[in-house]
Structure 1
Amino acid sequence: MQFVNTHPAGPHRLPERFGSAQDLHAWLLEKAMGSETAHVTEADAASARELREALITVLLAHSGDKDTTPEVLAEAERYLRHAASRYPLVTVVTASGASLAPAQTGIPGLFGTVLANVTELAQAGVWDRVRACRHQPCHFGFFDRTRNRTAVYCGTKCGSRESMRAYRKRKKALASDWGPSSK
């Protein structure tokens, strides 16, 4: 989720973490995933943003977001399949079990690690519980811990804002139905 929650939207007021090569490099250092001498390019930052946006689209689909159309979801899934071919994974077998790991190092390894984490969540049967907040423009990634698996907002702040937005929309519609222009 750390990878998905790097965008600058919503009430969390986070800065764009993949806006430039320098931003991506700083994020990698902060997460202890890179070194001071790691070479990060603007193309790497653009690829990180594209991967993140495709994942957010899938997570919004998990949340039942009405703006995530089948076409938008299909495009995100196509992108993720393409990314999986560019950033292959290998199975690491040990005496204690097996896991997936990126076949590459550096930035391609980071993207492979993200895909490995997604795969492991899916294999554990909890991928559909990883969601993106439906509150526009938040889209903050979160894990749905509710018993009935129905959470669609990252927290009460976004849920309240969305409820208030819907209330105002209903109130405005009602006022226009009963206003001076309707007869």
Structure 2
Amino acid sequence: MPPRTTERSPLTQPPAVDAVLQFVNTHTSGPRRLKERFYNARTMQAWLVENGLGTPTTHVTEADAAGARELRDALITVLLAHSGDGDITPEILAEAEEDLRSIAARYPLVTVVTASGASLETTQTGVPGLFGTVLAGITELAQADLWNRLRACRHQPCHFCFFDRTRNRSAAYCGTKCGSRASMRTYRQRKKELAANADLT
């Protein structure tokens, strides 16, 4: 009998994925049409409390909320690129990546070395610590070759972010409903173009 392996399946969703998805799925889109959670300091503080990331006394400023939106929106652009969204041009992607470099410089990480390995951790607390934790999680996923599996639904205006569990990394929509809607939209657009071309002949 061959020995049992403890190696994780490539489709297993690691904890870092949960932390990143929890952060990016705070926008107004998505299958449940949730409200903007980082609209201002008050709504961001409520989100922190709801998700066990803060307490009613956690200090949140309007600048914190704006910084959260900036980081999140840049990340969603990258996740749309992971999904092959045609609206994400090289110029748009480059701008988002530059924004992320600038943001990362404001929330430095340190390498923590132990006997069992090494990891990146934030040097800050509070809201800045949250941003650093998200960035550290992304780095962990990239090192595990899982970063590209985090994607944003290509269906406009959903853009709900998810972990792609397909073996060939081919998921582009958060579910069959969005995939069907996108296919129908493409079909209708193609039909409209064919009718317009027929009128010209």
TM-score, normalisation: structure 1: 0.94
Shift of 1:64: 1.1
Identity score, percent: 72
1:7-156 equivalence runs, <5 A: 7-156=27-176
User: Which residue identity does 1:25 align to in structure 2?
Assistant: Q
Query: 2:82–2:151: 8 Å Cα contact kept in structure 1?
Result: yes
Q: Report Cα offsets for 1:61-118 as digits up to 9, x if no partner.
A: 1111111111111111111111111001112233443322111001110100110010
Partner SS, residue 99 of structure 1 = strand
Query: 2:151–2:163: 8 Å Cα contact kept in structure 1?
Result: yes
Partner SS, residue 91 of structure 1 = strand
User: Which residue identity does 1:116 align to in structure 2?
Assistant: A
Shift of 1:34: 1.0
Partner SS, residue 162 of structure 2 = strand
User: Which residue identity does 2:185 align to in structure 1?
Assistant: R
Q: Distance in 2 between matches of 1:169 and 1:124?
A: 39
User: Which residue identity does 2:24 align to in structure 1?
Assistant: V
Cα RMSD (Å) = 1.2
Query: 1:59–1:130: 8 Å Cα contact kept in structure 2?
Result: yes
User: Which residue identity does 1:142 align to in structure 2?
Assistant: F
Shift of 1:14: 1.0
Tell me the number of residue pairs that the alignment of Structure 1 and Structure 2 aligns. Answer: 181
Q: Report Cα offsets for 1:95-153 as digits up to 9, x if no partner.
A: 44332211100111010011001000001111011111111111111111111111111
Shift of 1:57: 0.6
- Gap runs ≥5 in structure 2: 1-20
Partner SS, residue 22 of structure 2 = coil
After the TM superposition, which segments of 4 or more aligned residues of structure 1 sit over 6 Å from their partners? none
Partner SS, residue 200 of structure 2 = coil
Query: 1:3–1:114: 8 Å Cα contact kept in structure 2?
Result: yes
Q: Is 1:182 equivalent to 2:200 in the alignment?
A: yes
Query: 1:38–1:106: 8 Å Cα contact kept in structure 2?
Result: yes
User: Which residue identity does 2:137 align to in structure 1?
Assistant: N
